[in-house]
Amino acid sequence: MKSPLRRTARSADAAPYEVRVFGDPVLRKVADEVTDIDGKVVKLVDDMLETMYAEPGIGLAAPQVGVQRRLFVYDVGDGPETIVNPIIAESRGEWVYEEGCLSVPGLFWEIVRPKEIHLTGSDLDGNEVSIEADELLARLFQHELDHLEGVLLLDHLDDETRKAALKTLRERYADPTGSPSRTSTGGNGLSLP
Ligand SMILES: [Zn+2]
């Protein structure tokens, strides 16, 4: 997930992975359980963290680097964390927040989601984790979980907003220079960078 609080330009540093962007079919697939946390998974997590910090983002799910496994990394300012095979055990309330995604770069939308969630899963050592999260952290967990289900932010928009967003994205990726545009998605009072 990209935080609206960190809208700095993409880093020129070479990250281990290129973040997959809208249109890449891997973003629409349901990821598989991680059955064994071996050296490959540890290396994947290291590389995902490096990629996330280079963007910069505050969360990154494995499908965003082309790996169909149920894990994500995040850092909301308290250091890097990894959740393997995450499950939302419970969710409560409702919270609107402006949300962006490294796979849909440069676009932000106000999206309604549950305010608090109870997340379970395991850490990179295979220990069970159980986290009560609210607001930004709860939002981040739900966003990354969506990626494991092949769901993108666009799926949370109303029809009109989604149509406008798709138009912007189509225009952008039809641009041979591939440079991200700052085109407004128009209407609905959307706040854009
Ligand atoms: Zn995302």
CATH of the domain at 80: 3.90.45.10
144 flagged as catalytic = yes
**Can you tell me which residue has the tokens 């709860």?**
138
Give ion ligand 1 contacts, CB < 5 A. 101
Of 46-50, 104-108, 135-139, 148-152, the least confident: 104-108
Of 4-8, 64-68, 113-117, 137-141, the least confident: 4-8
pLDDT at 191: 31
Instruction: Tell me, yes or no, whether 179 lies in a domain.
Output: no
What is the total count of domains within the chain? 1
3-state secondary structure the chain: CECCCCCCCCCCCCCCCCCCCCCCHHHHCCCECCCCCCHHHHHHHHHHHHHHHHCCCCEEEHHHHCCCECEEEECCCCCCEEEEEEEEEEEECCEEEEEEECCEEEEEEEEEECCEEEEEEECCCCCEEEEEEEHHHHHHHHHHHHHHCCCCHHHHCCHHHHHHHHHHHHHHHHCCCCCCCCCCCCCCCCCCC
Report the separation in Å between the CA atom of 99 and the middle of ligand 1, taken as the mean of its atom positions. 9
Domain holding 93, by residue range, is: 25-174
Instruction: Tell me, yes or no, whether 161 lies in a domain.
Output: yes
Mean pLDDT of 55-65: 97
pLDDT at 116: 98
pLDDT at 155: 97
Report the separation in Å between the CA atom of 1 and the middle of ligand 1, taken as the mean of its atom positions. 4
Instruction: Tell me, yes or no, whether 74 lies in a domain.
Output: yes
Report the separation in Å between the CA atom of 144 and the middle of ligand 1, taken as the mean of its atom positions. 6
Report the separation in Å between the CA atom of 104 and the middle of ligand 1, taken as the mean of its atom positions. 7
- Which is catalytic among the residues 98, 144, 149, 160? 144
Instruction: Tell me, yes or no, whether 81 lies in a domain.
Output: yes
pLDDT at 2: 82
Report the separation in Å between the CA atom of 193 and the middle of ligand 1, taken as the mean of its atom positions. 16
Q: How high does pLDDT run on average in the chain?
A: 88
